Structure 1
Amino acid sequence: MGQQHAVSSIPKEEDDSSVLVGRTEDFKKSKRIRATVNDREVAIFYHEGQYHALDLRCYHAGGPLHLGEIEDINGQSCIVCPWHQYKIALATGEGLYQGIDPHAHSPAPKWFSKGVKQRIHKVTVKNGGVYVTLSDTSICYDSDYYASEKYKKTVSPVMKT
């Protein structure tokens, strides 16, 4: 008779670059998790069947994005920073704003992109585990400042959320 081995339902780390941040069932309950991935604070969202990971702190003033609400803006799912209501596309990290084109025939408010401001990260789901792989840091984004050691040293314990 052969030995039977129990199959573990606990996901394991995949490799050095991806970090296990939770189980799929954790996200289905909470819809968001705050995690540290290789010394970088990250907010991971589960929204409309998709996972999104961004730097935790908003590119504008370091607001805690994991506490923000998700809204549909111009056909994109966006996190709204709870501090100053900056809107960030979950899929791309673009900062969005509403403005009026003064040269338009009938100037009505429209949504525009400021470009990519918030660093996003790769999310992989495997065997019930949700993994985050940090994006390439050779390209700089505005949110990088709030992930830096310099910023972390200036933040008082009261500001941390």
Structure 2
Amino acid sequence: MDESGKEWRCVGKVEELARKKCQRLYSAGGKTWDLALFHSKGVFYAMEAWCSHLGGPLFTGDIEDYKGRCHVMCPWHGYMFDLKDGSNEIGLKQEVHDVKIENGDVYILYRTELSLTAPE
């Protein structure tokens, strides 16, 4: 655990997670803590699941090459967010989280447990 209370959380196998470009990760902390996991050009990215504009589900957005960088487009209003740093041209910002691959598993540095399935 680091000073922010975050730990590396295993979310699944690379070969399984790489099958989808965008997917939701459910947080043990509740819906507002959910993340969106993206896979593009062999790289995984993680950011807040809900758009900072009006809460659109970014995990259902499209990944686009925009100005030479990978972005996700919010399905509600079309805002583009850089997958690497969460930035946007009009000043909106998404929190992004470090992702690493170890022994064929994908890990995200985060404060709660994460799952591919919704809690019951």
Shorter chain as denominator, the TM-score bin is: 0.7 to 0.9
Q: Which has the higher contact order (CA 8 A, sep 6+)?
A: 2
- Cα RMSD (Å): 1.8
TM-score (norm 1): 0.59
> 5+ residue gaps in structure 1?
1-15, 98-113, 136-161
% same residue: 34
The unaligned stretches of length 5 or more in structure 2 are: 1-5, 112-120
Superposed displacement of residue 89, structure 1: 0.3
Cα deviation for residue 33 of structure 1 reads 2.7
* TM-score, length basis structure 2: 0.78
Shift of 1:134: 2.5
How far 1:38 moved relative to its partner?
5.1
Render the CA deviation track for 1:3-59: whole Å, top value 9, x for unaligned: xxxxxxxxxxxxx71111121011221223311345220011110111100000001
Within the candidate set 89, 93, 96, 2:86 is matched to 93
Aligned length: 103
More helix by share: 1
Aligned partners of 1:33 and 1:23: how far apart in 2? Answer: 14
Equivalent position to 1:77, from 45, 70, 83: 70
Change (3 A) 1:38 1:19: farther
Say whether the 8 Å CA contact 2:46–2:99 is kept in structure 1: yes
Larger radius of gyration: 1
For residue 124 of structure 1, report the CA deviation from its aligned partner: 1.0
Tell me if the contact between 2:21 and 2:63 (Cα under 8 Å) persists in the aligned partners: no
